[in-house]
Amino acid sequence: MPFTPHARPETAAEFRENLAAVRARVDEAALAAGREAGSVRLLPVSKTVEPDRLRLAAEAGATELAENRVQEAVRKHDALADLGVAWAVIGHLQTNKARDVAAVASEFQGLDSLRVAEALDRRLQAAGRGLDVFVQVNTSGEDSKFGLAPDEVPDVLRRLPDFASLRLRGFMTIAANSPDEDVVRGCFRELRGIRDRAREAGLAGAGELSMGMSGDFALAVAEGSDCVRVGQAIFGARPAV
């Protein structure tokens, strides 16, 4: 499966090659869909990767990194503060971590309840800052996945303006983990439909789509993704947990 040159990059040069290889595949998928090369954002997901290797990735040109565990994001944010990397927090958040997200994150891709919106807004107001957020939607219907059910989205969007520090930037989903491309594509199409309907109702602004990971980013780009979140294809396989 490794379609990048280095299965476990160890130097800045190797990271540069992996980043370029993924970038090229994202651009190829964009062009095939009649979209422009460079129009899809590539967000590297650095979870489980230690700070010394992240320094190399930054040296290779990574300017933003995403983490799904808040404690890990805080630890790396502090360890790499000199680099000026922008940290994204992705995935479900417990309300007791809202303060740390408000402190270190430049965006949050995992808003899945008004409780979390309220907790974040309180911390952000106290810190005097705003935060870009993506609403996470469970498009696969799998119980193991977080996110709002599709039919819950409009109500949550209607109430989001109550939380003035949150700027709705778009929608995020994790597709079904299925070998059937139609099933995976169906998840991405569902998110796009949710975004389109929200736009029509005046609830979504631009409504970027964050969808696609190492195993399915080409399909996501074909279905209109604006941001792919890619970990293993850049950094190497993660040990199974």
Ligand X SMILES: *Cc1c(COP(=O)(O)O)cnc(C)c1O
Q: Given the rule CB under 6 A, which of 49-57, 113-121, 137-145, 223-231 is the region that contacts ligand X? A: 223-231
Residue 8, classed as helix, strand or coil, is coil
Residues 42-81, one symbol each (x = binds ligand X by CB under 6 A, - = not), give ---x-x--------------------x-------------
Contact 95, 114 (CB under 8 A): no
Does the protein bind ligand X through residue 231 (CB under 6 A)? yes
Does the protein bind ligand X through residue 207 (CB under 6 A)? no
DSSP 32-68: HTT--TT-SEEEEB-TT--HHHHHHHHHTT--EEEES
| Count of C-beta atoms within a 10 Å radius of residue 135 | 31
Please name the residues in contact with 14: beta carbons below 8 A apart, sequence gap of 6 or more. Answer: 5, 6, 56
In the complex, the smallest distance separating the C-beta of residue 144 from ligand X, rounded to whole angstroms, is: 12
Q: Which is nearer to ligand X, 139 or 214 (CB)?
A: 214
Does the protein bind ligand X through residue 218 (CB under 6 A)? no
Closest residue by beta carbon to ligand X: 231
In the complex, the smallest distance separating the C-beta of residue 86 from ligand X, rounded to whole angstroms, is: 16
What does each C-alpha distance from 183 to 92, 213, 219, 225, 239 come to in angstroms? 23, 15, 11, 16, 26
Does the protein bind ligand X through residue 91 (CB under 6 A)? yes
- Site residues (CB under 6 A) for ligand X? 45, 47, 68, 90-91, 174, 213-215, 229-233
